[in-house]
Amino acid sequence: MAMLTDCDDVVTVLGLTPALYRQLLCVHEAGHVIAADGLGVPVLGARLTLNDPEDKRLGYVELGPQPLADGSRLALLGRLIVRAAGAQAAYLWLERRGTTADLAALRQDPDLFGADDDCTEAAEACAAQPEYGLTPQAGVVPAAQLLLARWPAVLRVAYWLGRRERLDGQQLRALLTDADRAAWPGASRAVVGS
């Protein structure tokens, strides 16, 4: 499959209207928010930058002080989960919408939904700590499990990000209820696969 080169290609291949593509980008960023929150990483804000000529990204999430930066294998895996969660949220959203696109083929394209930065940063993190033998794909399954457990929260954050284009940490905390967090009670247990 040819690599997708820009937003128009993604919209065409997925059969999305520009409005639905925008929703997809919000879901992608919401995936990062929910994964970070589920792993105890403070989320300071989220922003959709699709129409910002000053910003080459389509959106981003700003994280606070990192409990995932201590250099341990568990911390690296947590960072991989947060990175993988954006694309995983997008794939889950597309699957639940009943898209007719070949999602398995699209998963091979790191540019999909702006996930190229996520893939690059995950690969760099693994290369910097080769002693753990982790690949960027190590975060994919736990990210999908976390997102499925907290899917209503993903959709809630995506909805409000789409409406406002920018959410600060306080607004995000208000959107994430105790019931959402109860759906993913043992982040470290899930991360290590026990």
Rounded to an integer, the average pLDDT of 70-83 is: 89
Q: How many CB atoms lie within 10 A of CB 119?
A: 18
Each residue's pLDDT tens digit, 36-75:
999 888 999 999 887 666 766 678 899 888 766 788 898 8
Contacts of residue 145, defined as CB under 8 A and 6 or more positions apart, other chains included, come to: 190
User: pLDDT band at 113, cuts 50/70/90?
Assistant: low
CA dihedral 91, 92, 98, 99 (to 10 degrees): -10
pLDDT, mean over the chain: 80
Which pTM value belongs to this model? 0.84
pLDDT at position 95:
86
